Amino acid sequence: MRHAGRLAWALTGIDLDVAPGERVLVTGASGAGKSTLFAALAGLLDPEAAEVGGELAVDGQPPAGARDRLGLLMQDPDAQLVMTRAGDDVAFGLENAGLPAEVIWPRVDDALAAVGWRYGRDRPTQALSGGEKQRLVLAGALARRPGLLLLDEPTAQLDPAGAAVVREAVARAVVARGTTLLVVDHDAGPWLPLVDRVVEVREGGLVEHPPGWAPVPRAAGLVLPAATAGPARLGAETAGFTYRGTTTPALHPTSLVLRAGTVTAVTGENGTGKSTLALLLAGLRAPTTGAVLAADPLAVRGERRPHRWRAGDLVTRIGTVFQQPEHQFLTGRLRDELELGPLRSGSGSATARARAEELLERLGLAPFADANPFTLSGGQQRRLSVATALATAPAVLVLDEPTFGQDAATWRELVTLLAEQRAAGCAVAAVTHDRDLVEVLADAEVAL
């Protein structure tokens, strides 16, 4: 099939038969067409926006007509829940099917039990963690008793603990009921114990992997440039943070030093204040106790507290990369996006343009120089967001979950890019759950 306005087929040569009760993983690099395949199977392709060649059938019917037989679980938990209470949300799909209330509630309880739900029906959906929300969405899908469960990277937006919750719920549900399962995910490893078959989407078609196949570890054979630790650039001195109107600190007093030519990993469970610490180090929030102070050479007119700096001064000293790249994009073209930081910090337009060209080349984004950042793939957006932070050549780089949801190829590119920055004398701090990242890159680890 191909999308309107694009000449290339997004996906070709796909032949896949899934027998009832089979559990299949569809994997492949980002941009290979996995999501298109998912949308086609789920009957979600807009016939006006896509041209489809060949045939697709679920139980012998076109997918759009087989909606009742399908249960879907997608990436964003907040875009899949409808009701304010857990039980009501599971009941939603049964109400739509026109079932009477006396049939609905036993089936709701049954579906909640199938996914290992630990709370009551009355649990507010607002208060759930990402993993628990996905567990609930799965229950909502199961309650409709689908013949086929279709999962599209259901753990991509979750931390490892949340991802484990979702996989455990999926395993529990499909094993007990013999439901046919089709999982689409670039991260194959964690699903292997659960599936019977693994197929990989590649250019030109599907490759079926033999039983016992395992993906190549993403860090295998990675050679990173060496670096030597230099002087301290930025430090936290018993810095803590409590949100206004709350009593429990979001971050307990923490001390650390970021040195030139080193990578410091900040790790810890959810809710320990990792992201809050990143905001303090990035000069975006003022610590409510203790201090975050830059080294003297970075001071702006004697001011060493980054949160007091003007934004234009901040970007040349501390670069920050947020978890969601879209939050940081401000312009309609990649080129403008990369020129923005240098222009804002007072560089001339010629300098800014040269800097943007250089980064576009180096990060393999030159073919998209005039494209809109929002049209890039997830991996490309991530690279662009790092590039925008590097455009002003900051002495300190703060990243929040830089490798979150990235496929193996993007992961290696990012790790290499960060290692290059370190070799060039940058002080890097990365908040992360990613143990591989910590192992190959971190010179120091701060566990909260």
Partner 1 sequence: MTASLSLGPAPDVPLSRINPCAQILAAVAVSLALLATLDAVTPAVVVAAELCLLPAAGLTDPRTLLLRTWPLLLGAGTLAVVNVVLGDAGLLGALGIALRVVGLALPGVLLVASTDPVRLADALTVHWRFPPRVAVGSLAALRLVPLLVAEFETVQLARRTRGVEAGRNPVARVRLVAGIAFTLLVGAVRRAGRLATAMDARGFDSGIRRTNARGSVLHARDHLFVAGAVVVAAAAVTTSVLAGTWAPLFVGG
Nearer to partner 1, 104 or 260 (CB): 104
Nearer to partner 1, 94 or 174 (CB): 94
Taking alpha carbons only, the member of 91, 76, 84 closest to residue 143 is 91
**For residues 38-67, which are near partner 1 according to CB under 8 A?**
42, 44, 67
Establish how many alpha carbons lie within 13 A of residue 171's alpha carbon, considering only the half-sphere containing its beta carbon.
Answer: 12
What is the three-class DSSP state of 228? coil
69 binding partner 1? (CB under 8 A): no
Distances (CA, A) of 167 to 134, 151, 365: 10, 11, 34
Classify 309 in phi/psi space as left (phi over 0), alpha (psi -120 to 50) or beta: beta
Distance between CA atoms of residues 30 and 404, nearest Å: 13
344 binding partner 1? (CB under 8 A): yes
Stretch that binds partner 1, among 18-26, 71-79, 188-196, 409-417 (CB under 8 A): 71-79
Query: How crowded is residue 290: how many other Cβ atoms within 10 Å of its Cβ?
Result: 17
Among 85, 177, 304, 362, which residue interacts with partner 1 (rule: CB under 8 A)?
A: 85
Per DSSP, the chain holds a count of helices (H) and strands (E) of 12, 16
* Contact map string, positions 125 to 144, toward partner 1, x by CB under 8 A: xxx---------x--xx--x
Nearer to partner 1, 227 or 402 (CB): 402
Among 22, 76, 336, 445, which residue interacts with partner 1 (rule: CB under 8 A)?
A: 76
151 binding partner 1? (CB under 8 A): no
Taking alpha carbons only, the member of 154, 145, 222, 146 closest to residue 184 is 154
Q: Which two tokens stand for residue 413?
A: 């590119």
Nearer to partner 1, 25 or 91 (CB): 91
Among 374, 424, 435, 439, which residue interacts with partner 1 (rule: CB under 8 A)?
A: 374
Q: Where are the alpha helices (DSSP H) in 282-399?
A: 311-317, 334-344, 349-362, 378-390
317 binding partner 1? (CB under 8 A): no
* Contact map string, positions 273 to 292, toward partner 1, x by CB under 8 A: ------x--xxxx-------
What is the three-class DSSP state of 87? helix
C-alpha dihedral sign at 343, 345, 350, 353 = negative
Paired sense of beta strands 318-321 and 251-259, if any: unpaired
DSSP run (H or E) holding 113: helix 101-114
Among 92, 117, 368, 411, which residue interacts with partner 1 (rule: CB under 8 A)?
A: 92
314 binding partner 1? (CB under 8 A): yes
112 binding partner 1? (CB under 8 A): no
- Measure the CA angle with vertex 196, ends 190 and 198; round to 5°: 65
Closest separation in Å from C-beta 409 to partner 1? 25
Stretch that binds partner 1, among 112-120, 250-258, 265-273, 316-324 (CB under 8 A): 316-324
Nearer to partner 1, 277 or 408 (CB): 277
Nearer to partner 1, 264 or 347 (CB): 347
Residue 320 φ then ψ, to 5°: -130, 140
93 binding partner 1? (CB under 8 A): yes
Stretch that binds partner 1, among 190-198, 226-234, 247-255, 321-329 (CB under 8 A): 321-329
Sites of contact with partner 1 (CB under 8 A): 42, 44, 67-68, 70-72, 74, 76, 78-85, 88, 91-101, 104-105, 108, 122, 124-127, 137, 140-141, 144, 279, 282-285, 310-312, 314-315, 319-320, 322, 324, 326-328, 330, 340-341, 344-345, 374, 388-389, 392
